[in-house]
Amino acid sequence: GHVDHQDPAVQLEMLGLQANLAKWGRVGLQVHLVSVSVVQKGSKDLMDYLGYQ
């Protein structure tokens, strides 16, 4: 079927898709940053622990 990109419904759908991608991109970035900081803290704790042994 032919899709009319001037159709407001199609444009809204595209905008919604972009908004979803942006939202999930931010969520993914936050999760990534949290996991990186957890790994860094964990490795620091491990180094401290090994240093104390």
- pLDDT tens, position by position, 1-53: 666 667 888 889 999 999 999 999 999 999 999 999 999 999 999 889 889 76
The CA distances from residue 53 to 3, 41, 42, in Å, are 68, 18, 17
**pTM score of the predicted model:** 0.50
User: How far is residue 15's CA from residue 18's CA, in Å, rounded to a whole number?
Assistant: 5
Q: Rounded to the nearest 5 degrees, what angle is found at the Cα of 11, between the Cα atoms of 6 and 17?
A: 155
Which tokens sit at 27? 């969520």
